[in-house]
Structure 1
């Protein structure tokens, strides 16, 4: 059965463009469209699509508020479209926190070299997040649809509470694979490295916000994200976390309790020696599929730190991180992977797990706990 898609945008041109791309794939069909957030909420409840594509800025009810209401009333996988600006980045991150699963820029040429690549990317993203619909629907709890607790949004319309009690916990798991209690391996570490892609912004937030201010290691973060998004994302994480989170800059020295987010469009490598290591921020490279690339950063960490790296591969599409994790394992480092149930897309962690590289597969909600136990902080 074809994946049913509801397309939401106040631009008739963009609705038509997205619809044409989706309908070009026989595995999907656009069942209807909406011109504002209010229509989107109503039509999602009525038509129960498998996926909703959603614009951020719309009249009557903005996209972020619409996401919150949909996730509270009729939980559905949502793909956001936004502008590649600082404000667009902040709004997109708000939408992801509200429950949207993924995002793409409205200008497809910003992420694709040609029309065919852009078409394939959009189709692939819709199909991937559609797989999460059964999990979202299982997590549904009765929700109130009254206006109680709503406040006016800056953009006008209605804004629901930031974390409605009825919102399903996407990216959580009660996986039976994880033990009731973790045990430290006794290894000693000098750096922690985390690589992720689709679903990563929410996953990183869940992990980093649970770490204490006195966290003893520097942390390297590689998140597939456009260049204009990483600064806003680092600022958000820094504001929510007890540790310090910054967008990495060339020459940064690695300090305990600091997390360094690789800049979008660039590559991040570690240079020097343990105890005096610095970051090198390099041009992304025309031939590289990912900018930043987890393999590149993990590989440099293996070279500098050897077995003293605690690394994780979290939710994401594709297999980036597998070869870098292989290098880390060859050096004796520790590699964990997020488990399938708690991933938005079980691509990157699956690649690591299937290759026999990861030593543990962990539910997202317990990764921070596992880190604290491993470092004897709990």
Structure 2
């Protein structure tokens, strides 16, 4: 019989701890082995029974969550999920936690824990299961921490229900232009994987459009942080933003992003539409639009993440003549999304994380 996933809850709210315990233990594959109101109590309990996953608040008395997270990662690296409030302050703090080594973010309800229990149970259960299987070794080797996943709406709508399948004739005749773009899709493990790539790129690198599965508000804080540490300009995308060399546009949480073409220029369109593959933004939505509007003028990259979002869209890009790359299993925190794209025959190259930046720069010079 498969062992249950052992979870430790650390939150100063007794109500939150009770709700999360009920929510998680309802799933037969998860066991909450202990809970604590702050990191000091938590470490005492963890020393006698170390968990597989820690669910951690970031704002607590005696010791804040980020300090505790850094201690965990230095003593015994363990998948940590940040349970954060959906506020600007909570988003900024949670992005710091991702940089310190957290593997995921789940958001606390704005109001009504009962609603949270009844409506959003799948979010944290899926996050815990993904975290339990996370491979933390690549990020220790690269001196960067592991990363993030977003909350997952319950219904799984496929890309064809939101965007029609491509008409091959639309892309097969598209001429190659000098205005190229790079489209990147990622999820669990993606925030620090993206950091590892973008920090190596120059201001002359081709324009980049990115979907990182993340809740609303968090993408703005994430983009702001990257903009401070990267040579490229990194922005949370706004409707109509141009895709230009030296700029990376991150799809805003809670909305889809598409690429549109005007002459030889590209811009993004931010749209409200149902979640695709349980995600909004969805990698499939971005990739399919790039296949349609850029075709041979694009490079598609699918990186670490749980699930299959992006696989069909990458096949569209591949069939439209784009170059396609997948991050390899060894350097993925979760080898889900790249694996599904490879299975569809949508990938030209499978490469480790540390050479993706150089491939982007080379592509831009072709």
Distance in 2 (CA, whole Å) between partners of 1:74 and 1:316 is 23
Cα separation, partners in 2 of 1:213 and 1:287, compared to 1, 3 Å:
closer
CA contact (8 A) 2:23 2:117 kept: no
Distance in 2 (CA, whole Å) between partners of 1:318 and 1:55 is 26
Equivalent residue for 2:196?
206
Deviation at 1:289, TM superposition (A): 3.0
Deviation at 1:188, TM superposition (A): 7.6
Equivalent residue for 1:59?
61
Cα separation, partners in 2 of 1:252 and 1:321, compared to 1, 3 Å:
same
Distance in 2 (CA, whole Å) between partners of 1:234 and 1:313 is 19
SS at match of 2:244: coil
Deviation at 1:136, TM superposition (A): 4.4
Deviation at 1:207, TM superposition (A): 0.7
Equivalent residue for 2:104?
102
User: Pairwise CA RMSD of aligned residues?
Assistant: 2.7
Equivalent residue runs for 1:1-378 within 5 Å: 1-107=3-109, 115=117, 118-132=120-134, 135-136=135-136, 170=146, 190-215=180-205, 217-273=206-262, 275-285=264-274, 289-375=278-364
Distance in 1 (CA, whole Å) between partners of 2:343 and 2:181 is 25
CA contact (8 A) 1:231 1:263 kept: yes
Deviation at 1:45, TM superposition (A): 3.4
Distance in 1 (CA, whole Å) between partners of 2:343 and 2:276 is 26
Cα separation, partners in 2 of 1:266 and 1:109, compared to 1, 3 Å:
farther
Deviation at 1:369, TM superposition (A): 2.9
SS at match of 2:220: helix
TM-score normalized with structure 1 length: 0.81
Select between 365-374 and 25-34 the one with higher mean Cα deviation. 365-374
Equivalent residue for 1:176?
none
Equivalent residues, number? 333
Cα separation, partners in 2 of 1:116 and 1:319, compared to 1, 3 Å:
farther
Select between 269-278 and 311-320 the one with higher mean Cα deviation. 269-278
- Specify every segment of 5 or more residues in structure 2 that has no aligned partner in the other structure, as ranges: 148-176
Distance in 2 (CA, whole Å) between partners of 1:95 and 1:209 is 18
Q: Any idea what the Cα deviations from partners look like across 1:128-167, whole Å, max 9, x if unmatched? A: 21123xx5489989xxxxxxxxxxxxxxxxxxxxxxx9x8
Distance in 2 (CA, whole Å) between partners of 1:229 and 1:139 is 21
CA contact (8 A) 1:311 1:334 kept: yes
- Specify every segment of 5 or more residues in structure 1 that has no aligned partner in the other structure, as ranges: 142-164, 172-186
Distance in 2 (CA, whole Å) between partners of 1:193 and 1:274 is 19
Distance in 2 (CA, whole Å) between partners of 1:201 and 1:139 is 11
SS at match of 2:284: helix
CA contact (8 A) 1:170 1:342 kept: no
Equivalent residue for 2:165?
none
CA contact (8 A) 2:220 2:236 kept: yes
Select between 366-375 and 217-226 the one with higher mean Cα deviation. 366-375
SS at match of 2:331: coil
CA contact (8 A) 2:252 2:281 kept: yes
Distance in 1 (CA, whole Å) between partners of 2:179 and 2:120 is 41
CA contact (8 A) 2:184 2:303 kept: yes
Cα separation, partners in 2 of 1:356 and 1:188, compared to 1, 3 Å:
farther
Distance in 2 (CA, whole Å) between partners of 1:8 and 1:114 is 18
SS at match of 1:341: helix
SS at match of 1:259: strand
TM-score normalized with structure 2 length: 0.83
